[in-house]
C-alpha cells in the first residue's frame, strides 16, 4: 500500500515523500518496513527488517527504513509522521539524507485512517482450522473476511425468517420436464457381470445397471455414499467405510467372476481446480484400480476421470501408470465425452478409458455416439438427434426468453467448511444469473427451496433439482446432510453418460 505525505518546507528543499509498507506475515498487521523516498514517481527498492535509523542508497537520494516490528513482536504505529528532507551534493559521493522531524503521535491527522485501512487490507488467516492436508486456504484480507461473515449472518437470518414463515414465496414448486430415466431406457440382461470401484453416489453403477449388466459388488469408502447405494438397490453387495477401502481389498478371489471392472478414481490429483500434483498426491488411486484389473482379469474395463488427465501435462503419467501397466493384456482406447450429447442439461466433460482383453472385441467396439444435440446445429449428422433441454426447461421453470446448459456442478466435499453451493467459477455465476437460478444455499427439498427466497429473487435449487441437472432420477435416495448429498452428485458421472458407454461395451461383446 502507498501513502504520499507532504514534506514541510525548509531551507534546502520542498518535496513529496512516498511511504510504502507491508503487513507482517504472522499477524497480518502493518509492521512498517517503510521506505521513505524523495520521489513519489520512482520505486527505489525495499529494505528488509530494520530498526529505526538504518538506511540504504537509492538512485539519487537516501531511503530510511523504519522497522516497526520489535524483537518479533508486531505493534502498529498510530501515525506515519512527517519528515524533513535535506539536500546535499550527490556528485561527490555524499548522498542526501532523510531525518525524522519527531516521533509519530496518535493524534496526527490521517493516522487513524491509515492504520485502519492497513489492517483491513492486510491478509489474515482464517479462524476455521482445516484438518485436511490437501486444503488450500484462500488468502483473504480482513475486509474480505468481514464481508463474507456479514453475508453468512444475513443468510442465517433470512433462513430463520423463511422457517418461521415470515417471507412470501416467489416461485411455485416446480415439476421437472426432464425424466433422466428416459435418457437410459432399461435394457434386457446381457448376463455380463460388473464390479464397481470408487462407486460414489452411483453414476456408473446406475448406468451399467440400466444397460443390462448384473452387479457383483460396489466398493466405496465414503459411508454416506455407500448407504445411498444400499438404499437405492437393497439387493446389491455394497462395501462401505473401511470395507470399501480398495487399498486393502483382496481381489484374487474375484478372478473369473467378473466380466467388466468400472470406476472413476478420485479426480483431485488431476483437476484444474486443484494443485494437479498427479502421482505425488496421496489421493491418486489409479494404481489401485490398475491393481484390481490385473488381479481380477476381467474381459474389459471402463475407467473415467476429469479431462485434464488427458492433457499434455499428464501424458507421461497416463503412459506409465495406465497404458504401460495394462497394455500387456488389454487393447485400450481413450474417449472424450460430453454430457449434453446424451441429453444431460449440463456442461460436463469426462475422459474415459476402455480396455478389452480380446482384440476382436476391441475391433468391434464403437464409441458411444451422441443421442442429443444442444442448440440450433444445422450439421447434417445432428439433424436426426433429439434436442437436449436447457437447465430451465429441464427443471420445468417458466420461459424467460433465455435458456442454457447448467455450468459444471462442483462437488461440495472440499475445504474445511460444509458448503451447499454448486458454483465453481465466476463464469458459472454469470450463467446462473442469466438463467435466474440461484446456485448457492441449495435446499434439502423443493418445499424448503420455495420458502427460502434468494435475495435477488432467483429460483433456489433443491437437491432433487441438482440431481436432474446431473442426470440422476429424482427418486435416487441420496443419504446424508444436504452438503453430503451434493458432494455425491458433484463427484458422480452423469448416469446417462455411463449408460451410453456400458451399452457400447455390451454391443462389442454381442456382435
Active site residues: 267
**How deeply is 294 buried, as exposed, middle or buried, from its count of CB atoms within 10 A (0-12, 13-18, 19+)?**
middle
Q: What is the β-pairing status of strands 260-263 and 238-240?
A: unpaired
Residues pairing with 460 in the sheet: 438
Instruction: Name 506's Cβ contacts closer than 8 Å, sequence gap at least 6.
Output: 187, 190, 192, 211, 212, 213
> CA-CA distances (angstroms) from residue 239 to 223, 300, 345, 354, 470?
9, 22, 31, 24, 24
For residue 35, the surrounding DSSP H or E stretch is strand 34-37
Q: What is the β-pairing status of strands 73-74 and 83-86?
A: unpaired
Phi, psi at 73, each rounded to 5°: -90, 125
What's the rounded Cα separation, in Å, for the pair 52 and 33? 10
Residue closest to 197 by CA, chosen among 165, 222, 232, 170: 222
In angstroms, the first-to-last Cα distance of the chain is 70
Q: Where are the beta strands (DSSP E) in 379-488?
A: 386-387, 437-443, 459-462
Residues pairing with 360 in the sheet: none
On whether the CB atoms of residues 249 and 292 are closer than 8 A, the answer is yes
What's the rounded Cα separation, in Å, for the pair 375 and 435? 16
What's the rounded Cα separation, in Å, for the pair 415 and 424? 13
What's the rounded Cα separation, in Å, for the pair 443 and 188? 37
Q: What is the length of the chain?
A: 511
Residues pairing with 55 in the sheet: 64
On whether the CB atoms of residues 306 and 351 are closer than 8 A, the answer is yes
Residue 355 is placed in which grid cell?
480396455
What's the rounded Cα separation, in Å, for the pair 393 and 202? 25
| Positive or negative: CA dihedral 243, 246, 251, 255 | positive
Burial pattern 332-367, b for ≥16 Cβ within 10 A else e, equals bebbebbbbbbbbbbbbebbbbbbbbeeebbeebee
Angle, helices 223-232/482-491, rounded to nearest 10 degrees: 80
Amino acid at each position: 500500500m502507498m501513502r504520499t505525505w507532504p514534506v514541510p518546507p525548509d531551507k534546502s528543499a520542498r518535496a513529496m515523500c512516498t511511504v510504502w509498507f507491508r503487513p507482517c506475515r504472522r499477524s497480518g498487521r502493518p509492521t512498517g518496513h517503510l521506505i521513505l523516498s524523495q520521489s513519489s514517481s520512482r520505486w527505489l527498492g525495499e529494505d528488509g527488517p530494520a530498526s529505526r535509523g538504518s538506511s540504504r542508497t537509492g538512485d539519487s537520494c537516501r531511503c530510511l527504513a523504519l522497522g516497526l516490528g520489535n524483537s518479533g513482536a508486531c505493534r502498529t504505529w498510530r501515525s506515519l509522521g512527517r519528515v524533513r528532507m535535506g539536500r546535499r551534493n550527490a556528485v561527490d559521493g555524499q548522498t542526501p539524507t532523510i531525518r525524522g522531524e519527531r516521533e509519530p503521535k496518535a493524534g496526527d491527522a490521517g493516522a487513524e485512517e491509515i492504520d485502519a485501512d492497513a489492517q483491513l487490507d492486510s491478509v489474515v488467516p482464517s479462524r476455521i482450522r482445516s484438518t485436511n492436508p490437501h486444503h488450500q486456504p484462500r488468502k483473504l484480507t480482513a475486509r474480505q473476511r468481514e464481508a463474507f461473515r456479514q453475508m453468512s449472518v444475513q443468510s442465517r437470518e433470512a433462513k430463520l425468517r423463511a422457517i418461521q414463515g415470515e417471507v412470501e414465496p416467489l416461485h411455485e414448486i416446480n415439476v421437472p420436464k426432464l425424466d433422466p430415466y428416459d435418457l437410459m431406457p432399461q435394457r434386457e440382461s446381457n448376463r455380463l457381470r460388473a464390479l464397481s470401484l470408487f462407486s460414489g453416489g452411483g453414476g456408473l453403477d446406475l448406468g451399467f445397471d440400466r444397460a443390462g449388466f448384473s452387479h457383483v459388488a460396489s466398493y466405496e469408502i465414503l459411508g454416506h455414499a455407500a448407504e445411498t447405494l444400499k438404499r437405492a438397490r437393497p439387493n446389491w453387495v455394497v462395501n462401505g467405510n473401511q470395507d470399501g477401502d480398495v487399498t486393502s481389498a483382496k481381489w484374487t478371489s474375484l478372478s473369473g467372476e467378473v466380466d467388466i471392472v468400472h470406476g472413476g478414481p478420485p479426480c483431485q490429483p488431476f483437476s484444474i481446480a486443484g494443485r494437479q500434483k498427479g502421482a505425488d498426491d496421496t489421493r491418486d488411486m489409479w494404481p489401485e484400480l490398475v491393481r484390481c484389473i490385473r488381479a481380477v482379469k476381467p474381459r474389459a474395463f471402463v475407467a473415467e476421470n476429469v479431462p485434464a488427465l488427458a492433457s499434455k501435462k499428464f501424458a507421461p503419467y497416463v503412459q506409465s501408470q495406465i497404458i504401460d501397466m495394462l497394455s500387456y493384456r488389454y487393447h485400450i482406447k481413450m474417449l472424450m465425452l460430453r454430457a449434453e450429447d446424451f441429453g444431460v442439461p449440463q456442461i460436463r466433460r469426462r475422459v474415459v478409458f476402455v480396455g478389452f482383453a480380446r482384440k476382436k472385441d476391441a475391433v468391434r467396439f464403437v464409441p458411444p455416439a451422441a443421442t442429443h444435440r444442444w442448440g440450433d446445429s444445422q450439421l447434417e449428422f445432428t439433424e436426426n438427434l433429439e434436442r437436449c433441454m436447457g437447465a430451465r426447461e429441464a427443471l420445468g421453470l417458466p420461459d424467460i426468453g433465455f435458456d442454457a446448459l447448467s455450468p459444471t456442478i462442483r462437488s461440495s466435499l472440499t475445504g474445511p467448511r460444509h458448503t451447499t453451493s454448486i458454483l465453481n467459477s465466476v463464469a458459472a455465476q454469470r450463467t446462473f444469473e442469466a438463467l435466474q437460478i440461484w446456485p448457492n444455499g441449495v435446499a434439502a427439498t423443493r418445499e424448503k427451496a420455495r420458502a427460502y427466497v434468494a435475495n435477488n429473487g432467483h429460483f433456489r435449487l433443491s437437491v432433487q433439482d441438482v440431481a436432474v441437472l446431473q442426470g440422476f432420477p429424482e427418486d435416487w435416495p441420496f443419504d446424508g446432510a444436504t452438503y453430503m448429498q451434493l458432494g455425491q452428485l458433484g463427484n458422480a458421472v452423469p448416469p446417462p453418460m455411463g449408460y451410453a458407454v456400458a451399452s457400447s461395451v455390451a454391443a462389442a461383446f454381442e456382435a
